[in-house]
Structure 1
Amino acid sequence: MQWRAAWATVWNEVRYCSAACRSRKVTRKDRELEDAILALLAPLGAKGAICPSDAARAVGGEAWHELVEPARRAARRLVAAGTVDIIQDGRVVDASSARSPMQIRRRSSGA
C-alpha cells in the first residue's frame, strides 16, 4: 500500500487501500498464509528468500494454486507491517507495484 497525500492526516489509521480490499477483509486463511511466510523464512539466513507459492503450498496442500494470489497479498501486508521485503531482480521493490515473479525475504534490521 502506498502513502497517498489524501491520507496524510490519518495515515496511522489507514487499514485498506481501496474499497475492494475493504470488502475482501483479512480472513483466517490470510493469517495462515502470513504465518506460513514467517515460518518458512525463520530458518533462512538474512539473504534467504521464498516465493509466495511456497507459502501457498504450505497452507493449501493439493489446492495450493488457489492460494498463490492470496499469498502475494499476505506478503504485501507483511511489507506494510515492516516485517518482510519483496524482492525482484535482486532488489527490494515497492510492494504495491510488485508483480510476479517475486520473492519474499525478512527485512534487514537496517531497512
Structure 2
Amino acid sequence: MTEHDEKTCRSCGRRIEWRKKWAANWDEVAYCSDACRKRKVTALDRELEGRIRGLLASRAATSTICPSDVARAVAPDDEAAWRDLMEPVRRAARRLVAAGEVDITQGGSVVDPSTAKGPIRIRRHRP
C-alpha cells in the first residue's frame, strides 16, 4: 500500500489523512485518532448500522432517512437518549458509506461524509 491510498477510520468512518509519522506502519493504521482507537465499534454501533439498513429497506428505493429516524427507532420514548445517539448514528452512516452501502446527502446531493457539516440524509447507495 502506498502513502497515497485512501483509508477510512474503523470507528468514525471518516477519511484518514496520511501523516509522515505513519510512513513506516501505514498498512496497520486503522483509526484516525486516539479517541477513535479507544472508542472502537461496539454492539450498539452495529445495531445502529442494522437499523439504518432496516429503515432504508422498509422504504421506497429512492427514499432517504434522517439520522434522527434511526435514533428514535432505538430509543423511542426517551428524548435525551435519542439525542445522545445522533452522533453515533452519523458515525454508523459514515461506516456504511465506506462499505459502499449508503450515501450521505445534503440538499439532495451526495456529500463527502468526512467533511459534511449540518443536517444530513441517508439513502441507499446509487452506483
Cα distance in 1, alignment partners of residues 92 and 18 from structure 2: 25
Question: Are residues 81 and 15 of structure 1, via their aligned partners in 2, closer, same or farther at CA, if it must alter by over 3 Å?
Answer: farther
2:9 matched residue in structure 1: none
2:123 matched residue in structure 1: 105
Under a length normalisation based on structure 2, what TM-score does the superposition of the two structures give?
0.75
How many residue pairs match? The answer is: 107
Residue 87 of structure 1 pairs with residue 105 of structure 2:
yes
1:45 matched residue in structure 2: 60
Under a length normalisation based on structure 1, what TM-score does the superposition of the two structures give?
0.85
Residue 57 of structure 1 pairs with residue 75 of structure 2:
no
- Give the alignment's Cα RMSD to 1 decimal: 1.9
78-87 or 41-50, which moves further after superposition? Answer: 41-50
User: Which protein has the larger Cα radius of gyration, Structure 1 or Structure 2?
Assistant: 2
Cα distance in 2, alignment partners of residues 15 and 83 from structure 1: 20
The amino acid that maps onto 1:65 is R
Determine if contact 2:16/2:32 at 8 Å carries over to the other structure.
no
60-69 or 99-108, which moves further after superposition? Answer: 60-69
Cα distance in 1, alignment partners of residues 120 and 66 from structure 2: 6
Determine if contact 2:16/2:31 at 8 Å carries over to the other structure.
no
* Structure 1 residue ranges without an equivalent (≥5): none
Residue 29 of structure 1 pairs with residue 44 of structure 2:
yes
